Structure 1
Amino acid sequence: MRPEGDGFVVIDLLGRPMSDVVDWLAAEELLEERGLGYLAEPFMLEGARTHGGSEAGARPLRVRITEVDTTRIRVKKDDFGAIDAPLLEYTLDWPAPPELRPIRPDERHVWP
């Protein structure tokens, strides 16, 4: 939570605001309600370059978060659990850049 005026703004673990200014109790409730489960969900990384690829024509890449701390966020290309898939990782600044976004419902079944 970040103090602001007479209240607090709730910040998620990716460094993104989750609320307007609220009181302490509302902030705690929001954090508890949100939990950590969203970190296990797939995300899209806009403009990701794959090995040897160029930025021209880069399209969103489906990724999974592998690590978060207050200096960086590490994601990997979603391999859907395939043990023989090549590992493609990206290190992003914290807070999360706008290029890392939640996956939309219409993108849920897109193979990267």
Structure 2
Amino acid sequence: MSIPTADWIEHRRGLDRELVGWMRPDGEGFVAVDLLGRPVTDAVDWFEAEATLDEKGLGYLADAYELLLEGGHWLRVRIVEVTPRSVRVKQEDWGDVNATQVYYTVPFPVSPERLRPLQPR
């Protein structure tokens, strides 16, 4: 999969028109794709793809994540910016205003092997 192409259809929330994902045509149906570029359904009908994206919403973007660094270590991060070209994350600083801000850019679509929800320890 790659960045959204002309055949990907934006899906926006009804109330505020905020982009929540895309619907990518696939045969007779559509695959719902979240803002990280990850499919969240198999090929389904239009209404199910829309409903899935509406239900998923944007809340997952505020969750804690882990980024796999080149040395093979996982670093706790937060998503700070999402575009159809990249996702920008920063090292978790728990809101410490004196902490050094360390940012990383992850190409879109985001591989779950590179950026994953925080794993329980």
Aligned with residue 30 of structure 2, among 1, 4, 8:
8
Aligned with residue 32 of structure 1, among 54, 79, 88:
54
The whole-number CA distance in structure 2 between the counterparts of 1:65 and 1:36 is 12
Q: Name the aligned partner's letter for residue 103 of structure 1.
A: L
The whole-number CA distance in structure 2 between the counterparts of 1:33 and 1:45 is 25
Task: Find the residue that maps to 1:83 and give its secondary structure.
Answer: coil
1:72 equivalent to 2:86? Answer yes
Structural RMSD (CA): 1.1
1:99 equivalent to 2:121? Answer no
1:43 equivalent to 2:57? Answer no
Could you list the runs of 5+ residues in structure 1 that have no partner in the other structure?
Answer: 50-54, 108-112
Q: Which residue of 2 aligns with 1:52?
A: none
Could you list the runs of 5+ residues in structure 2 that have no partner in the other structure?
Answer: 1-22
The whole-number CA distance in structure 1 between the counterparts of 2:34 and 2:118 is 17
Number of corresponding residues: 98
Q: Which residue of 1 aligns with 2:18?
A: none
Q: Which residue of 1 aligns with 2:96?
A: 82
- CA drift at 1:59: 1.6
TM-score, structure 2 length as denominator? 0.77
Aligned with residue 59 of structure 1, among 42, 51, 73:
73
TM-score, structure 1 length as denominator? 0.83
Over the matched positions of the two proteins, sequence identity in percent amounts to 48
Higher strand share: 2
